[in-house]
Amino acid sequence: MTSNRVRKQALSSADTSSSLVVNQGTIDIDSATLDDSKSDFQQENIFLFWPNIIGYMRIVLAVASLYYMPLHPRTCSGLYSISCLLDALDGYAARFFEESTRFGAVLDMVTDRCTTACLLVFLSSAWPRWALLFQGLISLDLASHYIHMYATLIMGGSETSHKSVDRSRSWILNLYYTNKTVLFLFCALNETFFIALYLLSFSSPYLSPGLLQATNGAGSLSVESAKSFLFANPHSAAALEMARANKMDSFVPWLIAGISFPVMLIKQIINVVQLAKASLWLAQGDVEIRKKQGLPRHRKLK
């Protein structure tokens, strides 16, 4: 009897120890799995995702185009155009590699706004008569996109994309943001128009009379007699204007500007609609918040 009890105890202890080993092994496997998942999460660097790397390339190309912008129209326009075209590539890369991130969306938006603003700043100096218009376009572009992003974040939630615009809110914004072909054409032709204006500032003053206009009067100086004075300071506005003149023919820039102008105009109308709709959306949210807070309170008149 005693030997049988000893055998049973030994078997039970062996089973218990084996179960503990299995359980411990399971625990070790689970903990190892968790450790691997944590390490994978820690190793995933959002800043090195391919769409974001393309975004950094866009910034480098844009900065390079700004360097060549004052006196090298062909190099500048080429670099600037490549930077804009990469804007379409990063979206495809994000979908292909499944690397769509909120940081990437903001990086893309900020890069678009900054590059366009920099070009319009140059156009303000190249075409000072239209400086107020260019300043207005910069303000409209920044304001409409900022308030649209903010309204989407506050009213739609952090998981909602700024491109998710319901048709009931605005059919034109819905078409603009949901149709990739429409979005690409409008963005591309909008930038093309401003690039054409930039190239026109380097054309012949005889074909583009607004570039250089001789003034008549007692105190006026001719272009030839003023050259030595103007070029004494190569960084002056007048010297840069003289250096830009006659660098290229104006026929092609005028043609490009004429074709892209209607799309650019519609793009600005879309910006106005975007600004107005986002403002209304935020105002509706404010009304709901004030209702929940019991505002406005009816005060008794003494």
pLDDT digits (tens, 9 = 90+) for 111-143: 999 999 999 999 999 999 999 999 999 999 999
Percent of residues, the chain, with pLDDT higher than 90: 60
Whole-angstrom distance, CA of residue 292 vs CA of residue 106: 32
Q: Please tell me the pTM assigned to this model.
A: 0.77
Say whether pLDDT at 200 is over 80: yes
112 an active-site residue? yes
68: containing domain = 46-208+229-292
Q: Tell me how crowded residue 216 is: count the other CB atoms within 10 A of its CB.
A: 6
Q: Tell me how far apart the alpha carbons of residues 201 and 131 are, in angstroms, rounded to a whole number.
A: 14
On whether residue 59 sits in a domain, the answer given is yes
Q: What is the pLDDT of residue 117?
A: 98
In the chain, pLDDT over 70 holds for what percent of residues? 73
Task: Pick 53 or 160 by higher pLDDT.
Answer: 53
Domain of 161, CATH number, reads 1.20.120
How many folded domains does the chain comprise? 1
Position 30 in a domain: no
Domain assignment present for residue 33? The answer is no
Residue 283 lies in a domain: yes
Amino acid of residue 228: S
Winning range, highest mean pLDDT, from 89-103, 267-281, 283-297: 267-281
The verdict on residue 10 lying in a domain is no
Query: Of the listed 112, 141, 166, 249, which one is catalytic?
Result: 112
How does pLDDT run across 17-71, given as a tens digit for each residue? 444 444 444 444 455 555 555 555 567 899 999 999 999 999 999 999 999 999 9
pLDDT above 60 (res 219): no
Whether 122 maps to a domain, the answer reads: yes
What tens digit of pLDDT does each residue of 221-255 get?
455 555 554 444 555 666 677 777 777 888 999 99
User: What is the amino acid identity at position 288?
Assistant: E
Contact 246, 240 (CB under 8 A): no
Look at residue 155 and tell me if it is in a domain. yes
Q: Is residue 34 part of a domain?
A: no
Give residue 20's pLDDT.
40
What is the C-alpha radius of gyration for the chain, rounded to an integer number of angstroms? 32
Q: What is the mean pLDDT of the chain?
A: 82
The encoded tokens of residue 274 equal 């975007």
